[in-house]
Amino acid sequence: MKREGLRERIACWVFKVGLLDLLGSHEVWVSGGLNWGAEINGLEREVQGAQAALEEQAASKVEKAAGTGADVTHKALQKAMAFLPAHSEGAVNHSDTRTAGCLLTGIPGLEYLHVWLSIPFCTMYIAALVGNGILICVILSQPSLHEPMYIFLCMLASADVLLSTSTMPKTLANFWLGSSHISFDGCLTQMFFIHFLFVADSAVLLAMAFDRYVAICSPLRYTTILTRRVMGQIAAATLTRSFIIMFPSIFLLKRLHYCRINVIEHTFCEHMGIARLSCSDISINVWYGLAAALLSTGLDIILIAVSYVHILHAVFRLSSQEARSKALSTCGSHICVILLFYIPALFSVFAYRFGGKRIPRYVHILLANLYVVIPPMLNPVIYGVRTKQILEGAKQMFANITKEFN
């Protein structure tokens, strides 16, 4: 009798697990915007009918009922999986995120505007590519611009192009073609390069601040301090620091156990967005992300501020008004770029941390996307307009191109 009672409980348990799995998948599909309602309802009724029939026969045919119940549930799940797209399998098998990949929803709440939003994003991205491409070509083609200030500017333009390129093509493909799927390894790769390039951008701005500090506070030693060897060391240190800071995040994400829905409410993959897909403890990821931000961007902001305190102190000690104006003018473009880089980033971080649910989710996503295209788009304009040497170099480069074609 005990054995029959155990078998009866097993039979009921098998059906309940199958039914709960179906209901759970139904909620996932509905929340993901997939219209499987009619099919799922039919499957649920099929399972319920099979369960009722088995309960009536449980007293005499418990063992057979258990087998039949498992078979019905298995067939029902197979039927449900048959009409799912290949990239949605992770919605049913929550532990299959690594193989099924992730789904990027775009801008949640503004899905109906994706096509229209793609127009300004695409325009800004193309402008960033063209502007930074021209700036890099001008600096590399004109020997008169082979100075530390312009070499750092060339490094900044290169990082800006790579940063916008690591996000915008996938975002535009999502907006235009609905290409929301990305493999798990692809998501990790995108996340690494976004954060790597952000840290590198910040380091280049710090190097540019150091360049202005030496040029204004120690002008006679400028050429002896910022030699080609020192420039190479600064570039190597920038890449090495960015790599050391961001590479461990890949292993911190790979160590997690993923058993939740694989949908990321964003247009691109970022560290905490991936970590929140896990059902493991992500406190280490949270603290590591905070420490990485403080030791990279936070430290850079402090050092840039200290350098400009010394610069301003040296400038206002100059006796000539013309000399003060010239010194401040050389720093004006750099200050504009610094503000353009850090203010949106800090606003986005603080709005996310302290705004909570008062600020809609789509506002955070829009800010993050604007942040990776607006500074790269405007930096060449700022330096092109405010720096006479770059304007003259651009005119000379286009004049040489015109002569070659004529």
Give 127-182 pLDDT, tens digit per residue: 999 999 999 999 999 888 888 989 999 999 999 999 999 999 999 999 998 888 88
Taking a C-beta distance cutoff of 8 angstroms, is the pair 384, 394 a contact? yes
Q: What is the pLDDT of residues 38-64, one digit of tens each?
A: 444 444 455 455 555 545 554 444 344
Tell me the average pLDDT of the chain.
76
| Residue given tokens 């010194």 in the structure block | 327
pLDDT at 10: 41
Q: Using a pLDDT cut of 70, give the percent of the chain over it.
A: 73
**φ, ψ for residue 166, nearest 5 deg:** -70, -15
Angle subtended at Cα 96 by Cα 95 and Cα 101, rounded to the nearest 5 degrees: 130
Taking a C-beta distance cutoff of 8 angstroms, is the pair 19, 44 a contact? yes
Query: Which two tokens mark 153?
Result: 């500017």
pTM of the model: 0.73
Q: Outline where 166-298 has alpha helix (H).
A: 168-177, 184-217, 222-225, 228-254, 271-275, 283-293
Taking a C-beta distance cutoff of 8 angstroms, is the pair 4, 71 a contact? no
Query: Span 249-276, mean pLDDT?
Result: 85
Query: Which two tokens mark 175?
Result: 């907006």
pLDDT at 364: 82
